[in-house]
Structure 1
Amino acid sequence: MMDKYHLFQQSAKEAALLFSSLSTREVIRIVSHLDADGISAAAILIRTLNQLNRRYSISIVQQLSDSLIDQLKDEKHELFFFTDLGSGQIKSIAEKLSDRKLFILDHHEIQEDIKSDNIFHVNPHLFGIEGSKEISGAGVVYTFAKNLYQDIEKHAHIAVIGAIGDIQEDNGFQPLNDEILQDAVRNQKIEVQKGLRLFGIQTRPLHKALEYNTKPYIPGVTGSESGAIQFLHQIGIEPRTGSGWKKAVNLTDEEMKKLVTGIIMKRLDEDNPDDVLGNIYMLPEEPLESPTRDAREFSTLLNACGRMKKASLGIGACIGDRKTKEKAIGVLKDYKKAIIDAMRWYEKNPDKVIRKERYVIINAEDNIPASMIGTLASILSKSNQMKDGTYVMSLARTEENTTKVSMRMSGDQKDLDLRQVVMEITQKTGGESGGHMKAAGAIIPVEKESDFICTAVEVLDKLALEEPVA
């Protein structure tokens, strides 16, 4: 008897066999999500279709809304692939594209398990597997693609990057993702190293990497540039080199030992002072000091491309085109500027922020791009401005006259499902909700913003009373 993991893999195999039986003359219409996972998923599918000499057209979207599905209905394509989205909109897809052949390769919660001869649905939730933790959208596409093109294993690292982008790595992976990781390691695309889990090891000046590091928090260092520089001097590491600021990747073995020991000593009052150490996922074929060398930084690069409406560059970076990869790296500068602009707007507009002890609601209206509003919520939830257990909700308007909502929570609340919180609000006010346990969201009509915020206040006030923070 097969367990749930084998049943899931079998469903991917069956979908691949069905796809193989279809006419090769069809132009395939691909729709994928704009985050790191969605871009990784699209890249794996494109790599596979290229090998099969198939023609395709692709769109990378922020949200699969009813209006977008209406637009797809008006197209002449007969064969659609939805990757890293679709399961939460399956009713609308099934209704409006009932005369098309549809492949949905997703890991989000399923709106409804619809059975139809024209829909081939591959999703871990169908087998009792938690898609927000155990496999990414890119991982689902990779599992499907392995049945069509065995050499896709040489691109397993892209699915790992997608999983890291969706925060599915917790000093290791659960079984399905880990199986993909082993493919990447076996093909020498990823090296798993034990070391200091510090974002920006390859690219940031060491003192800035320490200043911006929030998980884990380093007392007196996190959030303080002067504190970070002083800390380095105290442990005997000169933060400058002859040509500029020193990066973590430039440290000698002896300096790295000093750094690790110093951070642990700073964290002795924490529950797990040594949890700064753990798995680091390096791509050995990528150049040193490049944002494509560390899988975590690569996932940020892909997010930048998606958020800055340059998803094609992210796909090219995944596929391995060197010139496209260089252009994608250039997008990071624009992305960082957009983040700074969003943070400055937040700091200068307290009248647009509802701030209570257990939650913060930010309504940016038209002042921050909708593609950046989730990034703002994520950064704030990880900042030392927010106590652990604080809900962070942000809203911004899209170009389609809707409002995008993003929700995060500060700290590591393991059993909390933000999807349920957002769903409770949208059930009362209208709108489409979705996302993951730790990163949920919604799309609502602009005219419903006030109602949504009032209802969110009611729901979050109630949750604050029910869930006291220890």
Structure 2
Amino acid sequence: MQIIEKAREIVEFIKKHDNVHIVTHLDADGICAGAIAVKTLERLGKDFDISFVKQVDEVSIEDVLNKNPDVIWFTDLSINIDIDFDNIVVTDHHSTVKRYRYSLNPHDFGLDGCVGLSGAGATYIVSKSMDVKNEDLSHLAVIGACGDLQDRRERKLVGLNRDILNDAISVGLINVIKDIQYFGRESKPVFRLLLYADDPVIPGVSGSEEACISFLTNLGLSRKEIYRKWVELSKEKKRKILSEIARRLLDKGFGSKSIRRLIGEVYLLDNEKEGTELHDSREFATLLNSTARYGRPDIALKLCLGEKESSFREARKFLNNHRQTLSRGLQLARTKIEKRKILNYFHVGNRVRDTVVGSITSILSKEFSSLPLIGFADGENGHVKVSARYRDGGEIDLSRAIYLAASSVGGTGGGHRYAAGALIPKGTEEIFLDALEKEINCQLSSDVL
């Protein structure tokens, strides 16, 4: 396979150099990718350092170049700016306009980077090509893929992610089961699991704590059982809950497609304790996000590297804060939604961290799915963070649209077809939105023609 040949080429290039600086993305997939790169270089006996960034821009590049590395290894980061440096390695899965010789990206091989391979997965392929013993890092690539929601569309990992999952299974790191797909099966009381259920929404239940409790008591669950986690319920109680959810969906005309989305694959980390956020790959990924996005990527990296004794306790504190921040941010963003001709947008200013606006935009895009949703939040150094999501997708390529719109105002941007982001100068938001709508209109017009 060509992608493996490219991985081998990258391996030989890395082996020729002594000092490598890893630059990785500030989210779960990026943290997992960075951890894989760290372990790979450590085992290879190379000197290395690591930086965590929101996006590749002139400031972040200058910081790295000042450290005089032999090689810069970008993981889970698209590069859409010119870099005056030759020894660059990129293991990523985003759409990009820049090409580098030592780059492994599924899009360059006609593969789907949205669901078929994550940034951590691309990094793992290089790591495994370095030494097959690095298969013991495969679980990190699975966590990274789940963190980027690559299992959500099919309710399972597909493409090259599937091959990586099989590696993790073969070395005894991951066990696959079929179970409910609502988030929090290991860590939330069951009534809270249903409270935030949104894919699919449970008619008359989701969004109301009182309705959730009533729903469960009517099914015969005791008050004590309502406060148990999903994994602690009996098979009979689980079956009753799922059957009633399916009945409600049918009664409201949701159809069999929504019902099938109730159940899917769950990836359990065999070496972690059941009932904790470390056991379920999706919950592990959320734990990583809740630390990295709040200024402590070092804690997230330690979790991935197995240094859990102190980092897990710290990460849990950040997780509780993340949940509260996300809830407040969602409430604020809903009051700020503005409608333009062909998109919706909101701007939360400095009242929400720029590292969280992407999560808020993703969640709200389910409620405002008919048009692309753009979220703004004030960032650092006079910039504004932009997040773009479009659930319905269609023929719109947000990655290209965001890149062009950001470039038109002196910013940088890119991402995936249906999920993209940018950094733009503060005060250029309206000009950016005008340019974005113009590009989206061009794409739609081209599709019609």
Taking structure 2 as the reference length, what is the TM-score of the superposition?
Answer: 0.91
Would the aligned equivalents of 1:88 and 1:108 in 2 still touch at CA under 8 Å? no
Quote the residue 1:293 is aligned against: 279
In the TM superposition, 1:381-392 aligns within 5 A as 381-382=365-366, 386-392=367-373
Tell me the distance in 2 between the aligned counterparts of 1:173 and 1:455: 35
In the TM superposition, 1:198-277 aligns within 5 A as 198-241=182-225, 245-268=227-250, 269-271=253-255, 272=257, 273-277=259-263
Q: How much does 1:50 deviate?
A: 2.1
Quote the residue 2:3 is aligned against: 8
Would the aligned equivalents of 1:37 and 1:137 in 2 still touch at CA under 8 Å? yes
Cα deviation 1:126-155 (Å, max 9, x = unaligned): 222222221111001100001223222122
Tell me the distance in 2 between the aligned counterparts of 1:423 and 1:18: 30
Q: Secondary structure at the match of 1:57?
A: strand
Would the aligned equivalents of 1:358 and 1:464 in 2 still touch at CA under 8 Å? no
User: Structure 1 residues 460, 228: CA separation in 2 closer, same or farther (over 3 Å shift)?
Assistant: farther
The one of 327, 346, 349 aligned to 2:333: 346
User: Which range moves more in the overlay, 76-85 or 200-209?
Assistant: 76-85
Would the aligned equivalents of 1:161 and 1:296 in 2 still touch at CA under 8 Å? yes
The one of 13, 26, 35 aligned to 1:34: 26
Quote the residue 1:321 is aligned against: 307
Q: Secondary structure at the match of 1:370?
A: coil
Tell me the distance in 2 between the aligned counterparts of 1:418 and 1:309: 28
The one of 132, 149, 154 aligned to 1:167: 149
Quote the residue 1:3 is aligned against: none
The one of 65, 73, 79 aligned to 1:88: 79
Quote the residue 1:104 is aligned against: 90
The one of 368, 372, 375 aligned to 2:356: 372
Would the aligned equivalents of 1:207 and 1:239 in 2 still touch at CA under 8 Å? no
Root-mean-square deviation (Å): 2.5
Would the aligned equivalents of 2:395 and 2:443 in 1 still touch at CA under 8 Å? no
The one of 42, 45, 49 aligned to 1:50: 42
Tell me the distance in 2 between the aligned counterparts of 1:47 and 1:457: 43
Cα deviation 1:183-241 (Å, max 9, x = unaligned): 11111211111121121001111011111011122111121212211111222222534
Would the aligned equivalents of 2:346 and 2:374 in 1 still touch at CA under 8 Å? yes
Cα deviation 1:324-356 (Å, max 9, x = unaligned): 233222221121222133234335xx4x54136
The one of 447, 454, 457 aligned to 2:427: 447
Q: Which amino acid aligns with 1:325?
A: F
Q: Secondary structure at the match of 2:141?
A: helix
Would the aligned equivalents of 1:219 and 1:267 in 2 still touch at CA under 8 Å? yes
Q: Which amino acid aligns with 1:83?
A: T
Quote the residue 2:388 is aligned against: 407
Cα deviation 1:340-378 (Å, max 9, x = unaligned): 33234335xx4x541369643112222222111111111
The one of 397, 418, 428 aligned to 1:438: 418
The one of 401, 405, 418 aligned to 2:398: 418
Tell me the distance in 2 between the aligned counterparts of 1:357 and 1:332: 37
Tell me the distance in 2 between the aligned counterparts of 1:135 and 1:186: 19
Q: How much does 1:284 deviate?
A: 2.2
Tell me the distance in 1 between the aligned counterparts of 2:96 and 2:146: 22
Tell me the distance in 2 between the aligned counterparts of 1:276 and 1:353: 30
In the TM superposition, 1:139-150 aligns within 5 A as 139-150=121-132
Cα deviation 1:51-104 (Å, max 9, x = unaligned): 22322111110011123223333332222111111x433x512xx113xx2211
The one of 147, 155, 162 aligned to 2:137: 155
User: Structure 1 residues 81, 427: CA separation in 2 closer, same or farther (over 3 Å shift)?
Assistant: closer
Q: Secondary structure at the match of 2:99?
A: coil
Q: Which amino acid aligns with 2:88?
A: L
Q: Which amino acid aligns with 1:44?
A: I
Tell me the distance in 1 between the aligned counterparts of 2:396 and 2:339: 21
User: Which range moves more in the overlay, 187-196 or 124-133?
Assistant: 124-133
Cα deviation 1:394-452 (Å, max 9, x = unaligned): 11121121111001134x54665322332453355442221112221111111312322
Q: Which amino acid aligns with 1:97?
A: F
Tell me the distance in 2 between the aligned counterparts of 1:359 and 1:221: 29
Tell me the distance in 2 between the aligned counterparts of 1:463 and 1:179: 34
What 5-or-longer segments of structure 2 have no aligned partner? none
The one of 301, 304, 320 aligned to 1:333: 320
Q: Secondary structure at the match of 2:355?
A: helix
Q: Which amino acid aligns with 1:312?
A: D
Would the aligned equivalents of 1:358 and 1:389 in 2 still touch at CA under 8 Å? no
Would the aligned equivalents of 1:434 and 1:440 in 2 still touch at CA under 8 Å? yes
Would the aligned equivalents of 2:96 and 2:414 in 1 still touch at CA under 8 Å? no
Is the aligned partner of 1:280 residue 2:261? no
Q: Which amino acid aligns with 2:132?
A: Q
User: Which range moves more in the overlay, 297-306 or 70-79?
Assistant: 70-79
Q: How much does 1:110 deviate?
A: 2.6
Quote the residue 1:136 is aligned against: 118
User: Structure 1 residues 285, 265: CA separation in 2 closer, same or farther (over 3 Å shift)?
Assistant: same
Tell me the distance in 1 between the aligned counterparts of 2:9 and 2:403: 33
Tell me the distance in 2 between the aligned counterparts of 1:245 and 1:301: 21
Tell me the distance in 1 between the aligned counterparts of 2:282 and 2:306: 17
User: Structure 1 residues 239, 199: CA separation in 2 closer, same or farther (over 3 Å shift)?
Assistant: farther
Q: How much does 1:455 deviate?
A: 4.0
Would the aligned equivalents of 1:239 and 1:246 in 2 still touch at CA under 8 Å? no
User: Structure 1 residues 126, 456: CA separation in 2 closer, same or farther (over 3 Å shift)?
Assistant: closer
Tell me the distance in 2 between the aligned counterparts of 1:112 and 1:458: 23
Tell me the distance in 2 between the aligned counterparts of 1:225 and 1:456: 39
